[in-house]
């Protein structure tokens, strides 16, 4: 299916406090296993309930229920993202994917990387943080952004990395998976840009700052 501008909201069983943005008409809402409880607390009914239901401990009745075996190669969050992709979504808001098991957190960071390399925008939100991945592209932040921002290489190398409008600058640097050169940078009240010419970056900042101003990946630009 050709991707659309639909946003896919996925809530997993991990730490969850609130939605950063509200789903709009036509967006796809998926509960990944125990994330169904978070939807219940929000008073929202997900479009799809999916998983092996080991976290939820039961299989509730739902109009669109997709049950997977507990013996599987992907996490419930990854299966939910694959379903969203099959429905034409190209922007993914992932909640309930932090604050629990560290191995699942790592799997969710890999999921961000995979979605970014397909040309999609994806955000992992929780525990006071927003994490996104950028592949062969850039993101921009406005002058109101404040606090810390960290950048890591997702893969062997990320080349042509530039950080402008931040306390510490990078100019066509090379980041690797062996050193945290991009950790603990700071917004300074200027328009900020983070760019990578070749490779994928994982970018962390505070949830209180909201989403970035703009994104340009693989030759396209989206204003959020």
Domains and CATH numbers, the chain: 7-128 (3.40.50.10240), 136-207 (2.60.120.320)
DSSP 120-137: -EEEEEETTEEEEEEESE
Counting residues of the chain whose pLDDT is more than 70, the rounded percentage is: 94
- The total of other beta-carbon atoms located within 10 Å of residue 219's CB is 8
**Structure confidence by residue, pLDDT tens digits, 101-154:** 899 899 999 999 999 999 999 999 999 999 999 999 999 999 999 999 999 999
Question: Do β-strands 48-51 and 28-32 pair in parallel, antiparallel, or remain unpaired?
Answer: parallel
The answer to whether 26 and 45 have CB atoms below 8 angstroms apart is no
**Mean pLDDT computed over 191-196:** 97
pLDDT of residue 61: 81
pLDDT of residue 223: 32
pLDDT at position 220 over 80: no
Handedness of CA 124, 200, 178, 188 (dihedral sign): negative
**Structure confidence by residue, pLDDT tens digits, 10-69:** 999 899 999 999 999 999 999 998 889 999 999 999 999 998 877 777 777 888 888 876
């Amino acid at each position: 299916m050709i991707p659309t501008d639909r946003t896919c909201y996925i809530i997993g069983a991990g730490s969850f406090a609130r939605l950063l943005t509200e789903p709009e008409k036509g967006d796809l809402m998926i509960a990944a296993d125990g994330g169904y409880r978070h939807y219940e607390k929000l008073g929202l009914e997900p479009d799809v309930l999916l998983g092996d239901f080991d976290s939820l401990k039961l299989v509730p009745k739902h109009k669109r229920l997709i049950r997977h075996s507990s013996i599987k190669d992907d996490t419930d969050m990854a299966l939910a993202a694959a379903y969203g992709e099959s429905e034409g979504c190209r922007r993914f808001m992932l909640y309930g994917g932090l604050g629990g098991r560290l191995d699942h957190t790592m799997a969710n960071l890999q999921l961000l990387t995979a979605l970014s390399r397909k040309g999609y925008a994806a955000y992992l939100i929780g525990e006071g943080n927003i994490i996104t991945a950028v592949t062969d592209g850039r993101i921009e932040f406005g002058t109101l952004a404040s606090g810390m921002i960290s950048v890591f290489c997702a893969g062997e190398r990320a080349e042509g990395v530039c950080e402008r409008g931040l306390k510490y600058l990078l100019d066509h640097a090379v980041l690797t998976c062996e050193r945290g050169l991009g950790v603990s940078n700071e917004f300074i009240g200027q328009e900020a840009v983070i760019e990578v010419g070749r490779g994928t970056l994982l970018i962390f900042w505070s949830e209180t700052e909201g989403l970035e101003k703009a994104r340009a990946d693989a030759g396209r630009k989206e204003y959020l």
